[in-house]
Copies of this chain bind each other. A is one copy, B any other.
Amino acid sequence: MELKNTILQLFPKLNEAIGTDGVNILEHSQQMTIPEGTVVFHQGDQCLNYLLIISGSVKVITRAENGREIVLYHITSGGSCVLTTSCLISSEDYPAEGVTESDVLALAIPKPVFEQYMGESRAFRKQVFHSYGDRLIKLISLVEDISFAKLDIRLAKFLLVNGSVNTPIRTTHQALATELGSAREVISRQLKEFENKGWVQLSRGKIEITNHDALARLLPSTN
């Protein structure tokens, strides 16, 4: 079966769970396809499934009253939605919103099955814990970035990670602002500065990197 191989590849820790442990995730879970732009969960939502993303990407954001947003993280191929899981268990209000950024293929494991696996399979537990730990650590990095790192550096980093000299980045300044937790105007001005220095070329909905090295020199050596 094709899907099984894909899953095993994406979730190496699940090998045991699918194989020798006698629990077969595929039998007890459901494939879901979710179109782009769907709000997968809102603040305060309850979650009834443990979700594994097979393909596509989900962004998790919080919003302030004044409408400003910040992307907390993305869940991509091979990732699981730890926050929905934790929201299921914890009594606190779920403080974020998940939106698909592309068509998404996911595997939904119902809560009781999830709990059974947690008890029976060491491999499954490891997988779940690994996701949790990663998320926690990434969130801490986000806090660090937001409170310490300067915007030009964060912006340069984003550009370098998401584009290169021949692959332009297709996004709006607003989306970039949300991604970095800043304001559109600030991003626009910063990009304009980069453009004036000849490092990027801007057009509506598109950013082309024209001088990779100059942008890279902005980053601290540890990146």
Contacts and interface: CB of A to CB of B under 8 A. Distances in A.
A70 B147 contact: yes
A90 B147 contact: no
A125 B119 contact: yes
A83 interface: yes
Contacts of A147: 64, 68, 70, 146, 181
A142 interface: yes
Contacts of A118: 125
Interface string A125-156: 11001101111110111111011110000000
Contacts of A62: 140, 143-144
Contact of A136 (B93, B125, B130, B139): B139
A77 to B, nearest CB: 18
A215 to B, nearest CB: 20
Interface in A66-99: 66, 68, 70, 72, 82-83, 85-87, 89-90, 92-96
Given A146-B147, A147-B146, A148-B64, A133 B92 contact: yes
A220 B64 CA distance: 12
Nearest to A147: B181
Interface of A: 62, 64-66, 68, 70, 72, 82-83, 85-87, 89-90, 92-96, 115, 118-119, 122, 125-126, 129-130, 132-137, 139-144, 146-149, 181, 220
